[in-house]
Chain A
Amino acid sequence: MTARVDRLLELADDELIVGWRNSEWTGIAPFLEEDVAFSSIAQNEIGHARALYELAASDLGTDADALAFDRRPDEYRCAPLVQLRFVPDWASTVARHFLYETADTVRIGALKESVDPAVAGIAAKIDREEVYHRIHAEMWIDRLGEEPAVRSALEGLWGQALGVVDEELRLELAHRLKAKLGWAPADAQPVERGAHLPELEALWEEMTMVRRSAPAGARW
């Protein structure tokens, strides 16, 4: 597998799984307007995952659905940050949302400068939608960032957030987080990609259930 495919799958898996996690709030978000907005953000993330899987699939001679649903849970490359299940904890959800969107901003910003035109192109497209996710996440942080529940969630997830981006981008990410929050935990160690939390397996069971129940080659 090429480095490009590796990179695309990391990104796509992050987007798919965070989109799935966010969608778990559909119908039960704190209020109706937020329900619609957060569900729409979840749909966007899954849309980004699709575009990234399609690009990887064209290199691998397969299709986006096969990459999204036909791998085993331990083959996913998503960062631990997106694997965590928080429903019904809105404070942790807001914290993860903000940390993930900020990490994604840094990562997508770097990919926009990629020498690979297909990767740079898709990064620019994703970035145009991510602007609104960022605004949404920062609004929540402005409103709830000082609440003890949100603050302790931010502290607890900081290392996982650093693990979303490559080593050379972590300093920039830490700066951005600190600039927005006005503080940073003293010693947060990055939690590297590669771990598979038990809750990812549960998500996978649900996410791939319909696909697995249908005979191979079924058309919808």
Chain B
Amino acid sequence: MIFEVFRRERQGQPFQHAGSVDAPDGRFAEIYAREQYGRRQESAALWLVPREAVREVDEFPDEFDLKYRRVDGYSIKARLKEARAAAEDVARSRDAFSAGEIR
């Protein structure tokens, strides 16, 4: 049986995935996880989860490209580039006007 091992480094911190152990049952897994993830005092607590208990979700379709729902928000790179180009145009016209080239 494979157990996924989560490790809490210090009291109050979140558990984070540390690795896994292969063991005949939960009791063996406890001893093995203790030896592999705890014997150097590197953990305040461990969680052992049988791999079958883990429900994995790994598909996130976004067919309509709904960028506004994404964690990174809109991509503003392209718009920023346009805005910079426009600003440069304005500056160039103003300089030309000051220099008397445009009346």
A36 touches B31 (CB 8 A): no
A139 touches B22 (CB 8 A): no
* B-chain residues with CB within 8 Å of residue A40 when the two chains form the complex: 35, 39
B32 touches A36 (CB 8 A): yes
B27 at the binding interface (Cβ < 8 Å):
yes
Q: Within the complex, which residue of B22, B28, B34, B39 is in contact with A32, where a contact is CB–CB below 8 Å?
A: B22
* A-chain residues with CB within 8 Å of residue B46 when the two chains form the complex: none
| Bound Cα distance A36, B21 (Å) | 11
| Bound Cα distance A135, B29 (Å) | 12
B61 at the binding interface (Cβ < 8 Å):
no
- Give the shortest distance, in Å, between A36 (CB) and chain B (any CB): 5
- Give the shortest distance, in Å, between A13 (CB) and chain B (any CB): 25
Interface majority SS (helix, strand, loop, mixed), chain A: helix
A37 touches B35 (CB 8 A): yes
* B-chain residues with CB within 8 Å of residue A32 when the two chains form the complex: 22
**Binary B-proximity of A73-107 (CB < 8 A = 1, otherwise 0):** 00000000000000000000000000000000000
B27 touches A33 (CB 8 A): no
B31's closest neighbor in chain A, by CB? A136
Q: Which of A34, A37, A40, A135 has the most CB of B within 10 A?
A: A37
- Give the shortest distance, in Å, between B35 (CB) and chain A (any CB): 4
- Give the shortest distance, in Å, between A41 (CB) and chain B (any CB): 8
- Considering only residues 12-47 of chain B, those with a C-beta below 8 Å from chain A are 21-24, 27-28, 31-32, 34-36, 39
- Considering only residues 1-42 of chain A, those with a C-beta below 8 Å from chain B are 31-34, 36-37, 40
Q: List 21 A-B contacts (CB under 8 A).
A: A31-B22, A32-B22, A33-B21, A33-B22, A33-B28, A33-B35, A33-B36, A36-B35, A36-B36, A37-B31, A37-B32, A37-B35, A40-B35, A40-B39, A132-B34, A135-B27, A135-B31, A136-B31, A139-B28, A139-B31, A143-B24
Using A33-B21, A36-B32, A143-B24 as known contacts, list a sample of 11 further A-B pairs with CB atoms less than 8 Å apart, ordered by residue number in A.
Answer: A31-B22, A33-B32, A36-B35, A37-B36, A40-B35, A40-B39, A132-B31, A132-B34, A135-B31, A139-B28, A139-B31
